[in-house]
Amino acid sequence: MFIAAIEVFKGAGILIYPLALCSACAVFIVCERAFALRRAAVMPQDLVDAVVAGRPLVGGKHTVLARIVDFAEQHRNDAGAVKAFARLEINRMERGVPYLDVIYAAAPLIGLTGTVTGLLQVFSQISPDTGLPDPVAFTKGVALALSATVIGLTIAIPSLVGSGYLQRKIENYAAQLDVLLERILQRGKP
């Protein structure tokens, strides 16, 4: 099984390097954003409860919600600036996620390029005397040529799923922050 996997990677040829780069970037982005977007880092429950209840805010000083509350306290009379800052914080939460869209679009295309170049190599080995390829070499060559597409799809599908999950999580946080922002802005009014 291990040897077969190595053959698949060899079949991708030189395009295995951009495919590996796509894979590494996708894994990094998904893991980093999943960690950065955990509830405790965005809007811890104790801070949410304090905003909703109108109590003094304690804890969670390095979270998205805490930064918005601090900004709102510094700019009590400028609701537009507070809303713009909240949008900026949401934009910061999206950092890196658009690259997943590029990866899940590019990886299959890179794989397809590897497949086409591999098939060109296979068909270029047709005997000029008989006009026929060696059946064993032809079958093996076609199978190896398709390996680049398989690798590309293997990278693209988790990237697509990760992108959808992270975008949905950010949208949920944005909706919750929008509701909390109204409470925050009411706190600043006399």
pLDDT along the chain (190 residues), means of 10: 71 85 97 95 89 77 89 88 94 95 95 86 77 76 82 95 97 94 75
Q: DSSP per residue over 126-180, as a string?
A: S-TTTS---HHHHHHHHHHHHHHHHHHHHHHHHHHHHHHHHHHHHHHHHHHHHHH
Residue 3 lies in a domain: no
Return the closest-CA partner of residue 33 out of 146, 139, 169.
Answer: 169
Structure tokens at 152: 């590309």
> Is 111 within the bounds of a domain?
yes
Residue 79 counted as domain residue = yes
Is 67 part of any domain? Answer: yes
d(CA 97, CA 176) in angstroms, rounded, equals: 20
* Three-state secondary-structure class, residue 56: coil
* Residue 1 domain flag: no
Q: How far apart are CA 177 and CA 5, in angstroms?
A: 46
pLDDT value for 1 = 64
pLDDT at 166: 97
- Contacts (Cβ under 8 Å, ≥6 apart) of 28: none
The kind and range of the H/E element at 73 are helix 64-74
Q: Is residue 89 part of a domain?
A: yes
Q: Which domain holds residue 142?
A: 9-187
Q: Calculate the alpha carbon distances from 131 to 79, 98, 138, 140, 144 in Å.
A: 77, 48, 13, 18, 22
pLDDT of residue 138: 77
Domain count, the chain: 1
Burial label, 138 (beta-carbon count in 10 A; 0-12, 13-18, 19+): middle
Query: Which one, of 62, 23, 19, lies nearest residue 40 by Cα?
Result: 62
Task: Quote the pLDDT of residue 155.
Answer: 95
Residue 143's pLDDT is: 77
Residue 63 lies in a domain: yes
Q: Please check whether residue 2 lies inside any domain of the structure.
A: no
